[in-house]
Every structure is written in C-alpha cells, then in structure tokens.
Structure 1
Amino acid sequence: MSQSSSQINKYLKSLQKHLTDEHPDNPTLANAVKSFRKMDYVGHSMGLLGKDESYATFVTWWPMIAVLGTFSAGKSTFINSYLELPLQRTGNQAVDDKFTVICYSRHNEAKTLPGIALDADPRFPFFQISRSIEEISEAGQERIDAYLQLKTCPSETLRGKILIDSPGFDADNQRASTLRLTQHIINLSDLVLVFFDARHPEPKAMQDTLAYLVSASVNRADANKFLYILNQIDVTAQEDNPEEVVSAWQRSLAEVGLISGRFYRIYNPSAAVPITNPH
C-alpha cells in the first residue's frame, strides 16, 4: 500500500470513528463510509480518482451552520447562548479576526486549536478551504492559521452539527481575502444565518454585509438556506420604536433585491438592556 493510499485509508477510519462516537444509536452514517470505499475502488480502477483521494472527502458529513454578519451584530453572544457555554469572546468591538469552526467534543473542557488542525478533521472537506486560502494568500497554506481556528466544546446541542462563526467584516484588515473565503464557506454550509444589528439598521452601517451576503444570495439556487436576523431588538424597548427599526432594516434589504425570504427579530434576554415594560 502506497503512502498516499495509506493516508486516505487512515482518514476514512478516523471519519468512521467520529461518526460512531457522535451517533452511537444510529449506525447509518458510519455504514455509509463502507459504500464510499466501494465507490473509491471503482474511481481508482477507472482513473477517475487519484490514489490519495476519496469521494468521502467531497461531502459534508455534519450539517454546517454559518453565522455571518457585522462585528457588532451579537453573533458570538448568540452562539454562546445556543451552546450554553461562554465559548466565544463577546463585545461591542471586533474581538475575533478569524473564522472559528466549532465542533462537538466529549472532553469536559473547551479547546482551541490552530487552523491547520482543520485539514485533518474528517467531518467535512476543509481541504477545499485550504486550497481557497492558497489562492487568496500569497503565503499559501502556511497562512491557514491567519484565517481559521478550530474550537471544540462539550455542548450537547452541538452534537452532530458544526458551527462557523465569522469575523466582523467591518474590522478585518484582510477584508478582500475574508470575503472570498466567506463565499466559499457559504457554498459549503447547509444553513446560513445572516445577523444585523438593530442599533444600526441603516444601509451605510450594513454596506459590506448587504453587498457580499445579501445581494449575492438573492438569485442563488439554494437561497432558501439563508435566514436574515435582526438581532438585539431589545434596544428599541426604551425608544418604543421597533416598527421603525424593522422597517428601516427591511427597506435596506429590499434595495439590494431581497424582497422575500425568512426574516427574524430576536434578542438575548441574558444580554438585553433592562425592559421596564415588556409590552
């Protein structure tokens, strides 16, 4: 057995173990790896697939959920609330300048690993992201740690799925590269949550998000996987003008062609401003 075929065999064994560990009561996914091995045999014998390749690396084995938006839209606070763990740093300023891939782990504590660790993760085809980084970065794959990091945590709500938290576009020094990588992540994701800040619903504050996340999604064949979320709507409680804020937000979306879709207004009770009158 050649070194390349040995590596792909190791990859498939690791994938099967991950699937068994996260879904011990449902062997369907783990058994599917066997079917991919049969497909690989055909692909190798016909010269359609290299000895160091497997069709199993071309699919996402866990649902991928991308959380995108401006730096002040409350993405990290939302993720922490969903996981019921203070995993992501939060704040009104940009606190993360990398994409954070968040996966389930049976270990009792959360861990942060460099982006290069994603190349060895068999749960989804991050080798493609590595190739994208080679294209957008002059330093090539060695720069993967400048764009990506991996975090694992024991939250049960994360079992069987993967979250990707994005850096805020407004504060990123590598804006062009980040936006290109964002489009690649959107293509890989099964669900895309696009967050907006209710404190700044006007078009100017959302310029990057509108141009790169909304306009580009309008005519996509998979446009139904996008959810548009106006977060931190609790800030309107004191002014008593939620209708005006929502109207301004939806007008901004309509100006870039988004006149239909799934729109949500939310806030996090644990991080909300005091609301004297809930009505």
Structure 2
Amino acid sequence: MAPSNKKKGAVDEALAGATEKVLKEIAKLYDSGLNEGSGKAGAGTVGLRSIADSSQLQMVMRKPRKKVSIMIVGNHSAGKSSFINWYIGEQIQKTGVAIETRGFTFVTSGKKRETLTGDATMRYFDFLSGFTKFEGIIPNLFTEISTSKEKNFLCVDFIDTPGLVDGDMQYPFDVQEAILWMAEHVDLILVFFDPIGQATCKRTMQVVEKLNNGPHLEKIHYFMSKADAVEKEHDRQRVLIQITQNLATRIRNSHAFNLPTFYLPRDDGEASAIPNAIEEVCKEIDKSINMTVQKNLRLLKEDCERILARCDVVQAEDKVKKARNLKVTLQGLALMSGAWVAGALLLGLLAARVMPAVCRVADHMCQATHIQTLVRISPAVQEHFALVGGVLLVVMVVLLVASKLTWKTAPVFNKKDLKKLDEHRAVTKAIMSEESDLYQKYFDTLSHAER
C-alpha cells in the first residue's frame, strides 16, 4: 500500500474510532449518565431517560441510536449486497442470489461473527417493534454481525432491502410499504440502479416516487451501480438518460438531480478508464455519520434543556398546588366548623326538648344553671322544634357535603421529592457540561483529520 493510502487509512480509522466513541458516549449519557469518578458536579449512575421517566417529571424521552442507519434500495441485482461486502471488506452478504431472496438483512458490527434471525433481530434493534404490523415480515428478517473495522463500519448499520422486480413475483409481505416504514427510521437512503438489469422496473419507480412524496427528500441519494458492466461510453450515457427520464416525473427538485455512476474496484487492482464515483457513495455515508453525530449532540443538549425546563415547570406547579391546597383546606375547615356549629345547635335543641322529662324522673340532676335554662326554653323549643331542627339538620348536611366537595387537595411534592428534583437538575447540568466537552473533542478530531 502506498504511504499516502496508509496515512489516509490511519486517519480514517482514527476518525471512525472517535466518531464511534462519541456516539456511544451519547447513548451512555441517556442510559447510565456520568460515572461517579468523572469529577463532574452531580455525577452519578442515573441517565437522562431515568430522570425523564421519574415520578417527579414523567416525560417521554428516547435515546438516539449508537449508529447511523443506512438503507439501500434497488432492483434485483443492483449490487446492494456487493457494495456492503466491499465496504466492510468481508463477504458477509450473498451476491448473485436468486430473486427468491426477498427479506430485509441488517449488517452491523460486533465483537464476534453471528447471524440472527427474525425474533433475535427484533430484540437487537428495538426500533423494529412496529415492524411486526407487516404480516410475514419476521421470518424474513435477518442480521449479520461482522467484526470488520473497515472504513466507518463501526458507526454504521446497513439495511439490505429486498430486490425489486416486476412480473409475477410475490413477496411474503407488502414490500413497498415495508420499505417506506423503514425509511422513517433510517438516517440515509441509497438508491442503486442497475444499468443492465431492471433499473426502471415499476416497483422500483413506485418506491422512489413514494419516498419522494414523504419527508425523506434530504436523505435520499441516487447512484447508477455496476457502471463497468457497460463498457462503451455512449451506452452508459444512454442508460443514464433512460433512468433520469424515468425519475424526472417521480422526484421532487428534479432540476438539481444528480446520478453519479460507480462500480466496485477490481480485485486485481487494475485501473479502469471508466469514471468511478464510489468515493462519492462513501462520502455520503461519512457525511451522514457526521450529521448524525452533530444531530445526536444537539438532541442531547435539547433534551437536557427540556429536563431543566420541566424541573422549573413542575416546581412552579407544585407551589401553585400547595397554595391552592392551603386555600381549599382553610375553606374546608371553615365549612366543617359551620357544620359542627349547626350540629351542636341541633344537639342543644334536642337536649332542651327532652330535659323537662329527664328532670321529672331525676330532679337532682336539674339543679345546674345551664340545665334550668334548657328547661325554661323547652316550651318554645317544643313549639318550633320541627322547623328549627329541620333547618339546622339541612344546614349541617349541606355544610358537610360542601366541605367534602371543597376540601380536595392535589398531590404535591414532599421534601424527598424536592431533594430528588434538585438532584435531577444537578445531574442534567453535569451532562450538559459533558455534551459541550464531547462537541469540542469531536471537532478537535475532525480538525486534526483535515491536516
């Protein structure tokens, strides 16, 4: 290998390692937060997701993925699997496969070589939980785990989609809708057109059109693969024109449309006179990785700001609730006191009504002044007892009901909750500080790579 290529390889490897580290660090901050020994104020073992999900905040928060998801779409024999094999430097995907191969295959990096089938793939990639709505999809899901460290593969998850063909081909699931669903969950979409196959088949064009009608415009890039399969320049130009004309009516911003052509470098290393834009494919992947790192760092900062804002909101709401609780408690006590007074008066009326009879039986009990008073007012009470007693009973019941309806307090934070809220703030601020450090380290790595 030439010295310049060795140097470039070393730089690429260092950059890929730094990028992978940043993406993993971001995911770690969501899962487990900062280490105790990090030296950051408020450092601990609680991550942003746990803080957001706490009983004090009750927020919905998803952590960003550790890797960039790249979906490759194209007709059968468009070179999707061959490109993946070339990129990772390993023959992990079968090529030249019969059309009957109709599933989704995820190609990701790991510590050991493994193959996962449907259910295991669903567990490995948690964002696939909604993918089960497509009947027949699970038996056609696969994951190939490779130990390769080629290029930026450590930061990438490739998704090899079913080859699209026309005719009587029947897929075991709705292939077009499945691809569109997957497009919602990936960072980059590469569309490959085969110059000697069914590049402009109806299914491929329908998928392209639907992708363009969705919110995916910025992450779709088109390439004509296997350019070396057409040796004559005028034949390649004819195929390019044909593909471009077919796409023109189906894509937005067609005036800025670009269709680079590429092919895989030959095993013998022999140079070819045919222009090869394979580095442009790699650059799009690198750009997507860089954008994802920046997006994840930005999301980390925004989520920290959301948590801090939520802490302020819930604490302010708690103060309002406590003030309202005090108000309704005082109102409830006032109404309850009124009910007690009405009840006491009603008991007094009952005592005045029955006291003469009691005194006739036990005269010695009626010598007290307050008892004599009850005996004296007893005739008046007897005369108006039904009216006055009824009114007092109604008033007492009404006040009791009003007290019960009014005296409803909202749940508020106790001292333990408020302490936990302060801890959430401290940890979140420490994570925000770490986000700034990660940003600086990442851009330092980029600037060194450019020198």
The answer on 1:102 being equivalent to 2:112 is no
The answer on 1:82 being equivalent to 2:87 is yes
- The percent identity for this pair of structures is 22
TM-aligned CA distance change 1:210 to 1:48, over 3 Å: farther
TM-aligned CA distance change 1:207 to 1:271, over 3 Å: farther
Cα deviation, 1:66-88, whole Å, max 9, x if unaligned, reads 01111111111111111110010
Cα distance in 2 for residues equivalent to 1:25 and 1:255: 39
The answer on 1:192 being equivalent to 2:189 is yes
Question: How far has the Cα of 1:267 moved from its partner?
Answer: 1.1
Q: Tell me, what secondary structure is at the counterpart of 2:218? A: helix
Greater than 4 Å deviation, 4+ residue runs: 46-49, 274-279
TM-aligned CA distance change 1:238 to 1:271, over 3 Å: farther
Question: How far has the Cα of 1:41 moved from its partner?
Answer: 3.9
Question: How far has the Cα of 1:94 moved from its partner?
Answer: 2.3
Cα distance in 1 for residues equivalent to 2:54 and 2:165: 46
TM-aligned CA distance change 1:177 to 1:201, over 3 Å: closer
Cα distance in 2 for residues equivalent to 1:153 and 1:200: 29
TM-aligned CA distance change 1:243 to 1:144, over 3 Å: closer
Q: Tell me, what secondary structure is at the counterpart of 1:218? A: helix
* Contact 1:99 1:166 (C-alpha < 8 Å) held by counterparts: yes
Cα distance in 1 for residues equivalent to 2:83 and 2:99: 15
| Matched residue count | 239
Choose which of 147, 152, 159 in structure 2 pairs with 1:154: 147
* Contact 1:201 1:245 (C-alpha < 8 Å) held by counterparts: no
Cα deviation, 1:73-127, whole Å, max 9, x if unaligned, reads 11111111111100100116326321011110122xx321112112332xx533x
Higher helix share: 2
Cα distance in 2 for residues equivalent to 1:243 and 1:42: 55
Q: Which residue of 1 aligns with 2:21?
A: 23
* Contact 2:230 2:236 (C-alpha < 8 Å) held by counterparts: yes
* Contact 2:165 2:198 (C-alpha < 8 Å) held by counterparts: no
TM-aligned CA distance change 1:271 to 1:178, over 3 Å: farther
Q: Tell me, what secondary structure is at the counterpart of 2:237? A: helix
Cα deviation, 1:195-217, whole Å, max 9, x if unaligned, reads 111114664xx2111111x2123
* Contact 1:64 1:190 (C-alpha < 8 Å) held by counterparts: yes
Q: Which amino acid aligns with 2:115?
A: T
The answer on 1:93 being equivalent to 2:93 is no
* Contact 1:23 1:160 (C-alpha < 8 Å) held by counterparts: no
* Contact 2:223 2:261 (C-alpha < 8 Å) held by counterparts: yes
TM-aligned CA distance change 1:237 to 1:275, over 3 Å: farther
Unaligned runs of 5+ in 1: 1-21, 138-142
Q: Tell me, what secondary structure is at the counterpart of 2:105? A: strand
Please give the residue correspondences for 1:264-279 in structure 2 after superposition, counting only pairs within 5 Å: 264-270=260-266
Cα distance in 2 for residues equivalent to 1:95 and 1:81: 23
Q: Which residue of 1 aligns with 2:178?
A: 181
Question: How far has the Cα of 1:271 moved from its partner?
Answer: 7.8
Cα distance in 1 for residues equivalent to 2:222 and 2:22: 34
Please give the residue correspondences for 1:1-279 in structure 2 after superposition, counting only pairs within 5 Å: 23=21, 27-34=25-32, 37-45=47-55, 55-56=61-62, 59-91=64-96, 93-94=98-99, 96-107=101-112, 110-121=113-124, 124-126=125-127, 129-133=128-132, 135-137=133-135, 144-157=137-150, 158-170=153-165, 173-174=170-171, 176-200=173-197, 203=200, 206-212=201-207, 214-238=208-232, 240-258=234-252, 259=254, 260-270=256-266
* Contact 1:80 1:87 (C-alpha < 8 Å) held by counterparts: yes
Cα distance in 1 for residues equivalent to 2:24 and 2:165: 42
Q: Which residue of 2 aligns with 1:3?
A: none
Cα distance in 1 for residues equivalent to 2:273 and 2:121: 47
Question: How far has the Cα of 1:269 moved from its partner?
Answer: 3.0
Q: Which amino acid aligns with 2:248?
A: A
TM-aligned CA distance change 1:37 to 1:198, over 3 Å: same
Q: Which amino acid aligns with 1:167?
A: P
Question: How far has the Cα of 1:238 moved from its partner?
Answer: 4.3
Considering only aligned residues, what root-mean-square deviation do their CA atoms show, in Å?
3.4
Q: Which amino acid aligns with 1:115?
A: G
Question: How far has the Cα of 1:275 moved from its partner?
Answer: 9.4
Q: Which amino acid aligns with 1:77?
A: S
* Contact 2:31 2:49 (C-alpha < 8 Å) held by counterparts: no
TM-aligned CA distance change 1:156 to 1:95, over 3 Å: farther
Higher strand share: 1
Unaligned runs of 5+ in 2: 1-19, 34-45, 276-451
TM-aligned CA distance change 1:73 to 1:278, over 3 Å: closer
* Contact 1:40 1:55 (C-alpha < 8 Å) held by counterparts: no
Instruction: Give the alignment's TM-score, normalised by structure 2.
Output: 0.47
Q: Tell me, what secondary structure is at the counterpart of 1:65? A: strand
Cα distance in 1 for residues equivalent to 2:164 and 2:198: 16
